[in-house]
Amino acid sequence: MFLAVFSPKGSGEVSPDATLMQQLLRRDVGAFEELYERHSRIVYSLVLRILRQGSTAEEVVQDVFLQLWRNSAQYDLSRPFVPWLLTLARNRALDQLRLKSERQRRREEQTEQFPQIASAAPEYEQALDEKRRAERVRLLIGSLPIAQKKAIELAYFEGLSHSEIAASLKEPLGTVKSWIRSGLLRLKESLRATS
Amino acid sequence: MDSQWLAAFKGKFTGNIVNSNDQFRELIEAYAIGSLDAPERAQLEAHLASGCDDCEKALQEARWLVSQLAYLAPNAEPSDMLKGRLLQTVRAEAAGSAARRQVVGGAGIPSWLWAGVAALLLFSLYSAWIAHKMHDEVAYLQQQAKIEQAERERLEAELGAAKTQAHEAMIWSDPKSKKIMLRPKDPKMPDLEAMWHPDMGLVVRGWKVPSPGEKRMLQLWLIPKAGGKPMPSMTLWPDANGKFSAMVENPPDTMSDTQALAITEEPIGGSPQPTSAPMWVGGVS
Ligand SMILES: [Zn+2]
């Protein structure tokens, strides 16, 4: 069944980002600048939301883009670039946020130098451009009950675990678990819907 | 499994079919967002390590899905300074790695190519200081020179060709600039002139220079002292009358570290290292 859900982009079709990443291997500064122009806003927005402090956020964004530049050979060109970049940026920002805490050690166990990310984007990724997909994400999560939305934000932007979220929101653990899962499944439905 | 596959293919399922035998499937989304507490996480990781394809594929999609939550962050714009800092670092590393490739890799410049440089230098050791009054705009332009390369490029585009010409003219006329004559290897070619100002940069000018070959252009190189490899610099393109005037605002090396300037013909866009013999050479210090 996953053949249907996950299909690599049409054979031979290379995304502009993958092309730019290839050019980074040849130390192409222009390609780096273009990648930065294309994605620095969303990366910075995400990191700033996590860290809430402009100068620290810029340091993390700088680290993320330098990692792209210095370790571009480690990036698997067949993987969807933007989700991968966003995962890398989130991991870095959460590391910064939770320096030396238990949460940090826990996360490190599952974080490699480059993050794990889908080896192919779901085919419905192409149904919406980035802007419309962003609108869809905001709309759907915004439509959830406030406590459920809060639980998802605490997990994603603060890096909290189920039990930490339950304690923070004073809600039963089982409720928190089902909120996070059902919220993400609803998001998937929303992004899959073609209209 | 076949019926599930067909159903998914027809779009009736949502890709998260839960196998009743697989209680791990419902941990996948939380694992992807990172919110599983330690015991559940350890159990799921053991299960994934056992090679459950369904869970592995579901995890890939869940990771993609979780990454989309980034769009919940309010839109924010990083400062121009960040871009400037990054580009400065990246440019320096690109130049460094090009130089390392020349030293380390077998693809370096053949030594015979540059052997002629020393000989040509004997003919070209000529330099002079020209006294001239400082222009009012020098202070402004010196301040500009400190701003990162990217910011500078953007400003320069806005300032336009007139300002660039003014900058070049200032370098050309400033008493601190050093004049460097570049002598051609081919006696039928004209001499070129360069002016190097320690703060404002380097200007190279030529007249009656024939057009380079198709898809070729001229490129300037800085040849360091102490046997270093040539540092790539700007590319040059004569106009229809064979005239050009071009400026490097921040040469990669200081004048005192540079033995000579050289110009070669390179493919459009320039090269990280020379691919042809120098056509002009001028001694600096
Ligand atoms: Zn499983």
Contacts of A117 in chain B (CB under 8 A): 60, 63-64, 67
Q: Which domain holds residue A130?
A: 123-195
Class of residue B77 by CB neighbours under 10 A (exposed 0-12, middle 13-18, buried 19+): exposed
Domain boundary among A89, A121, A153: A121
Contacts of A83 in chain B (CB under 8 A): 63-64, 67-68
Report B:143-182 residues touching A (Cβ under 8 A). 150
Other Cβ atoms less than 10 A from the Cβ of A170: the count is 7
**Are residues A112 and A31 located together in one domain of the fold?**
yes
Q: How many CA atoms lie within 13 A of B164 on its CB side?
A: 16
**Are residues B138 and B210 located together in one domain of the fold?**
no
CA B285 to chain centre: 27
**Are residues A79 and A44 located together in one domain of the fold?**
yes
In this predicted structure, the answer to whether residue B132 has a pLDDT above a threshold of 50 is: no
The verdict on residue A3 lying in a domain is no
**Are residues B202 and B169 located together in one domain of the fold?**
no
Residue A45: in which H helix or E strand, if any?
helix A29-51
**Are residues A21 and A98 located together in one domain of the fold?**
yes
Mean pLDDT, residues B190-197 taken together? 87
The verdict on residue A8 lying in a domain is no
**Are residues A86 and A168 located together in one domain of the fold?**
no
Total structural domains within chain B: 3
Q: Is B73 on the interface with A (CB under 8 A)?
A: yes
State the alpha helices, DSSP H only, in B110-148. Answer: 111-124, 138-146
CATH number assigned to the domain comprising residue B213: 2.60.40
**Are residues B8 and B86 located together in one domain of the fold?**
yes
A41-79, pLDDT tens digit by residue? 999 999 999 999 999 999 999 999 999 999 888 888 888
CATH number assigned to the domain comprising residue A158: 1.10.10.10
Token pair belonging to B64: 């993609």
Q: What is the pLDDT of residue A23?
A: 93
Residue type at position B172: W
Q: What is the pLDDT of residue B16?
A: 43
**Are residues A182 and A108 located together in one domain of the fold?**
no
**Are residues A110 and A151 located together in one domain of the fold?**
no
Order of all β-strands in the sheet with B280-283 = B231-236, B216-224, B258-267, B280-283, B178-184, B192-197, B201-206, B244-248
Chain B: closest CA distance from residue A130 (Å):
9
Q: What is the pLDDT of residue B108?
A: 47
A25-34, pLDDT tens digit by residue? 999 999 999 9
**Are residues B255 and B279 located together in one domain of the fold?**
yes
CA B239 to chain centre: 25
Domain boundary among B143, B173, B203: B173
Please identify which residue in the block is written with the tokens 């380097």. Answer: B202
Nearest residue on chain B to A117, alpha-carbon basis: B63
Q: Is B276 on the interface with A (CB under 8 A)?
A: no
Q: Is B16 on the interface with A (CB under 8 A)?
A: yes
In this predicted structure, the answer to whether residue B112 has a pLDDT above a threshold of 60 is: no
**Are residues A71 and A163 located together in one domain of the fold?**
no
Contacts of A162 in chain B (CB under 8 A): 30, 35-37
**Are residues A79 and A129 located together in one domain of the fold?**
no
Task: Quote the Cα angle for B108-B109-B112, to 5°.
Answer: 140
What letter would DSSP give residue B225?
A: S
Mean pLDDT, residues B255-280 taken together? 83
A68-113, pLDDT tens digit by residue? 999 888 888 888 899 999 999 999 999 998 874 555 555 544 444 5
* Closest C-alpha among A39, A32, A46, A36 to residue A91: A46
**Considering chain B, what is the average pLDDT of its residues?**
75
The verdict on residue A195 lying in a domain is yes
Rg of chain A (C-alpha set) = 18
The verdict on residue A2 lying in a domain is no
pLDDT band at residue B140 using 50, 70 and 90 as cut-offs: very low
Nearest Cβ partner of A192 from B7, B14, B67?
A: B14
Q: Which residues of A42-75 are buried (b: 16+ CB within 10 A; e: fewer)?
A: bbbbbbbbbbeeeebbbbbbbbbbbbbbeebeeb
Token pair belonging to B184: 């051609």
Nearest Cβ partner of B82 from A62, A134, A141?
A: A62
- B150 to A49: CB separation less than 8 angstroms, yes or no: no
Q: Which residue has the higher pLDDT, B248 or A107?
A: B248
Dihedral sign computed on CA atoms, order B207, B212, B215, B216? negative
Please identify which residue in the block is written with the tokens 């990648």. Answer: A35
Mean pLDDT, residues A122-150 taken together? 92
Q: Which domain holds residue B190?
A: 178-283
Contacts of A1 in chain B (CB under 8 A): 1, 4-5, 7-9, 13, 15, 17
**CA pair distance B162, B144, nearest whole angstrom:** 16
**Are residues A107 and A133 located together in one domain of the fold?**
no
- A118 to B14: CB separation less than 8 angstroms, yes or no: no
**Considering chain A, what is the average pLDDT of its residues?**
86
Nearest residue on chain A to B84, alpha-carbon basis: A33
Residue type at position A115: P
Q: What backbone phi and psi angles, to 5 degrees, belong to B213?
A: -60, 175
3-state helix, strand, coil in chain A (%, to 5): 75, 0, 25
Chain B: closest CA distance from residue A24 (Å):
10
The residues, ordered by sequence, that sit 6+ positions from B222 with a Cβ below 8 Å of its Cβ are B230, B231, B233, B251, B252, B253, B258, B261
**CA pair distance A138, B184, nearest whole angstrom:** 64
**Are residues B186 and B275 located together in one domain of the fold?**
yes
Domain boundary among A105, A121, A137: A121
B44-58, pLDDT tens digit by residue? 999 999 999 999 999
What is the pTM for the complete model shown? 0.57
What's the CA dihedral at B231, B235, B241, B243 to 10 degrees? -50
CATH number assigned to the domain comprising residue A21: 1.10.1740.10
Q: What is the pLDDT of residue A6?
A: 42
- B33 to A184: CB separation less than 8 angstroms, yes or no: yes
**Are residues A110 and A176 located together in one domain of the fold?**
no
Q: Are B4 and B13 in contact (CB under 8 A)?
A: yes
Compute the count of residue pairs across chains A and B with CB atoms less than 8 Å apart.
Answer: 190
Question: How far is ligand 1, taken at its centre, from the CA of residue B46, in Å?
Answer: 10
The residues, ordered by sequence, that sit 6+ positions from A14 with a Cβ below 8 Å of its Cβ are A77
**CA pair distance B72, B77, nearest whole angstrom:** 15
